[in-house]
Amino acid sequence: MAVVKITVKKNGPFRVEAPEGAIELVDADGTPYDLTGKTAFSLCRCGGSVTKPFCDGTHSKIGFQAAELAVKKADNLG
Ligand code: FES
C-alpha cells in the first residue's frame, strides 16, 4: 500500500493524506510550508482560495466545476 494517498475530490480540492513528515510541500522559491502535525490537507485546484496552496472551501461558493466534468460534457457534444 502506498504511503501517500491523493484523492481528487469531485469539483473540489486534491485531498492529500500521508503520515506526518512524509511530504514536503514547498513554494516556487523552495520555501517549505509548515505541515507540522498534519497528516491530511487539501490543495486548492479552483484558484479561488485565499490561503493557497491550501483549499479554504471557496470552490463550493464559486461553483467550481472540475476539468474532467467539462471534458465529459464536451465529449457528449461530438
Ligand atoms: S479547491 Fe477549495 S478553495 Fe479551491
> What 3-state DSSP class applies to 54?
strand
CA distance 43 to 8: 10
CA distance 78 to 72: 10
CATH of the domain at 57: 3.40.5.90
| Residue 65 pLDDT class (50, 70, 90 cuts) | very high
* Distance between Cα 63 and ligand 1 center (Å): 10
* Distance between Cα 43 and ligand 1 center (Å): 7
Number of structural domains (the chain) is 1
Q: Is 49 in the pocket of ligand 1 (CB under 6 A)?
A: yes
CA distance 60 to 11: 8
User: What is the pLDDT averaged over residues 8-33?
Assistant: 96
Q: What's the domain range around 17?
A: 5-77
* Distance between Cα 65 and ligand 1 center (Å): 11
| Residue 69 pLDDT class (50, 70, 90 cuts) | low
| Residue 78 pLDDT class (50, 70, 90 cuts) | low
User: What is the pLDDT averaged over residues 53-60?
Assistant: 98
CA distance 75 to 65: 16
| Residue 67 pLDDT class (50, 70, 90 cuts) | confident
